[in-house]
Amino acid sequence: EAGVAQSPRYKIIEKRQSVAFWCNPISGHATLYWYQQILGQGPKLLIQFQNNGVVDDSQLPKDRFSAERLKGVDSTLKIQPAKLEDSAVYLCASSSRGRNEQFFGPGTRLTVL
């Protein structure tokens, strides 16, 4: 079974630029999560989708971050404009339903200069 796919794996941008990340969850997984992991910290939930609906985006900085999950499958996370403090690994995870094991993708390592 294929795992969670993410791209790109690495991205370097300058502050105030825009960036987008893509995630393809495990087939059939209804719940999709985007996490931000800053070096030395645990993952912090940014947004959670159930199918194509948002169920939790309370920690998403909505003035600069946006995410969508069209058709309840793939998802994109966008940052516009980026700040230095956005430098982190962005992890996508999926689960068959909200209470089950989460499977993580390899992450996108973002560096903002």
Please report, as ranges, the residues that interact with another protein according to CB under 8 A: 33, 35, 40-45, 48, 50, 55-56, 91, 98-99, 101-102, 104-107
Helix (H, G, I), strand (E, B) or coil at 67: strand
Minimum distance of another protein from residue 31's CB (angstroms): 8
Alpha helices in 19-107 (DSSP H): none
- Of 22, 20, 23, 15, the closest CA to residue 94 belongs to 23
Nearer to another protein by C-beta: 7 or 14? 7
- For residue 56, CA distances in Å to 15, 27, 34, 46 come to 27, 22, 11, 8
- Pick 13 or 45: Cβ nearer another protein: 45
Written as one string, the DSSP assignment of 89-111 is EEEEEEESSTTSPPEE---EEEE
Q: Could you tell me the smallest distance in angstroms from the CB atom of residue 82 to another protein?
A: 21
Q: Measured from the CB of residue 73, what is the shortest distance to another protein in angstroms? A: 20
Which DSSP category does 27 fall into?
T
Task: For the CB of residue 102, give the shortest distance to another protein in the complex, in Å.
Answer: 7
- Nearest CB to another protein, comparing residues 79 and 93: 93
Residue 65 vs 94, nearer CB to another protein: 94
